[in-house]
Structure 1
Amino acid sequence: MNIENDVIETLDQLERFLISVEDGGLGLTNVAGIAMATNNTDGRPFVAVLDDKHQLLLGRWISQDVYENGKEMVRTGPKRNKH
C-alpha cells in the first residue's frame, strides 16, 4: 500500500492536505476522489487519494480523532477562505 508515514493529527492538517490535493500541489495526476478507510491488516485509519479506477494514488495515516471528526470535510471538501 502506498501510504506515507506522516500522520495527520488534526482537522487543520487534514484541511491543508485536502487543499493541496485539490490544488495539484502534490504532483498527482488523474485524481478522481478522496476517501477515508481503515487498513484491513491492523485497522489503522487513513485518508486515500484515488484515481478514476479507484486505485490508491496516495494515502496518509490519520489519527482516530481525525477519522471520527473529519468525515464531513472529506465528503464535502475543505472550506476555503473567501477574500
Structure 2
Amino acid sequence: MNIGNEVIETLDELESFLTSVEDGGLGLTNVAGVAMATSNADGRPFVAVLDDKHQLLLGRWVSQDVYENGKDLVRTGPKRKKH
C-alpha cells in the first residue's frame, strides 16, 4: 500500500489533507474519490485517495478518533474558508 508513516491525529489535519487532495497539491492524477478504510493486514484505519477504478493512489493513517469522527468530513468534503 502507498501509505506513509504519518498519522493524521485531528479533524483539522484531516481537513487540511482533504483540501490538499482537492487542490491538487499532492501531485496526484486521476483522483476520483476519498474514503475511510481499514487495513486488511492489521485493522489500522486510514483515509484512502482512490482513482476511477477504486485503486489506492495514496493513503494516510488516521487515529481511531479521526476514523470515528471524520467520516462526515470525508463524505462531504472540507469546508472552504470564505475570503
The two structures have a TM-score, normalised by structure 2, of 0.98
For residues 30-76 of structure 1, the C-alpha deviation after alignment (integer angstroms, 9 at most, x for no partner) is 00000000001111000000000000000000000000000000000
> How many percent identity over aligned positions?
86
Q: CA deviation at 1:4?
A: 1.0
- Asked if 1:57 corresponds to 2:57, the answer is yes
Task: Structure 1: give runs of 5+ residues left out of the alignment.
Answer: none
The corresponding residue for 1:37 is 37
Q: CA deviation at 1:26?
A: 0.2
Moved over 2 A (4+): none
Match of 1:15, SS? helix
- State the distance in 2 between where 1:15 and 1:2 align: 20
Task: Structure 2: give runs of 5+ residues left out of the alignment.
Answer: none
- State the distance in 1 between where 2:24 and 2:69 align: 25
Aligned-pair Cα RMSD in Å: 0.4
